[in-house]
Structure 1
Amino acid sequence: MLTEAVTGYCFHFNVYKGKRYDPTPAGELQGSYVVISLLRAACLLNKWYHVFCDSFFTSLSLAKRLLNLHTYTTGTVRSNRPLPNLIKSVKLRASQSMFMRQQEILVCAFKEKEKRKNVKMLSTRYNAELVVNRKPKMITEYNKFMGGVDLNDMLTSFYEDGRKSTKMWKKIVFNIIHRMVINAYILYQQNSDNAKSRLHFIQLLIDDLSEDHMTRNRVNIGVLNDEINNQNLRKLPERKEKDCCICSVRNVPGVEKVET
């Protein structure tokens, strides 16, 4: 999923259908293929936007390809990915960091606390700048702008109407509709001075979308009632009916039935 970092607005997403239907081209990492495919589908390449990725997607090859496509990237890197050996094996103390640069790509190893492992990151946008508590700036910026996907998922989980018995294709369709509503609400917040809660916005949206359908139903019901009223209706003749000799009990009030 490709989202805006601050608001969680969803630009594009792909539903993974398995290796059989979503094959990765030979010689290419799946994470790199997904990132570039999403950016290309959203028409966001070659505009010098900045993409933040987690360790599943980030790699040196992805950073180089995005630079060639005029796009910055920052993200954490797994230890089993190609990195300088010194970055992988360096022993750091708490609040210590180490940087290495290869042209526009900056690689960093940082240890926040004594009992934690080193965090390895790369960036094509930041330099070896340290900020609060001697933490590299690329790490503070990563923590700041990496939550767009999680924010969108959290917003989708609110007012969830999923059921275990619902078929998978229906769950996917409902999930897409939820994300469409979230995008609409984000755009409304950005372009309107009339503040509304998300629940109120959804209620107004439902009323607006169903207005034509409800109006047609009311008209049809009115026509049907007129047709019934214009017919010659007559009541059945009143007559005294005998109680059922099997079900009725004369001595008990209320246990008298006309028929079984």
Structure 2
Amino acid sequence: MKLTLSISTCPNDTFMFDAMIHGRIDTEGLEFDLTLCDIEQLNAAALSTAADITKLSYAVVPEVLDRYKILRSGSALGRGNGPLLVSRHKIYPDELSDARIAIPGEHTTANRLLGLLYPAAADKRAYLFSDIAEAVLSDECDAGVLIHEGRFTYRDKGLRLIADLGEEWEKRTALPLPLGAIAVSRRIAPDTQRTVDRVLRRSIAFAFENPAASAGFVRQYARELSEEVTRQHIELFVNAYSFDLGEEGRRAVVQLLELENEEAFV
């Protein structure tokens, strides 16, 4: 059975999915027609079309729950890995109402979190996530929300931290921060949904046990060419919650998205 699969080009996704895409593990008869995109492109596609399996920002999940369920494996969720709000010139959090803020897309979890924590920050402008640092450095924007590799390199570029949004979330909730999810279409039979979840978990386990196997695939799509930054990215965003959300991970998702129940999950 062949399923369409859409994931991001970020190292955490290519690391986790490498083994199942390239047949390094038992996929239980499943094959995958792969598309790789920026996260906001994936979010937009999920709102208008329907890949069988897709990466999503958790923020967009409520809008697609009529068509998708969230896998228990594959999430980018954890502690100390949230988006960073940065600036070139010193800005205090209570000054954000007057700031032009670059965000990595309207439907991203980063944007949802910014709105929850700093509702006065209303002047938001969408950029490709990899262009946000430059938008701030060039004074197109006063501040920017960095995700992915940007959190590891912003100081080297001369940017300063206004707030760690993930840290603020953890202080308020004592829960890990849900960032990205892997969703499977509800049109697929429940048994196959569970197979996809099982195969992805197997792929993640293989990646942890054989990190060199995915190195070429990860490097092919990584926007940051530094192997050290790529390694840090994977170590931060692929963790025990990626293998299985568990009870705490599900509670975090329910709270972030204000869900009434857990029917969102496979």
- Coarse TM-score class (shorter-chain normalised): under 0.3
TM-score, structure 2 normalization: 0.23
Judging by fraction of residues, say which structure has more strand: 2
Q: Structure with the greater relative contact order (CA < 8 A, sep ≥ 6): 1 or 2?
A: 2
Which has the higher Rg, Structure 1 or Structure 2?
1
TM-score, structure 1 normalization: 0.23
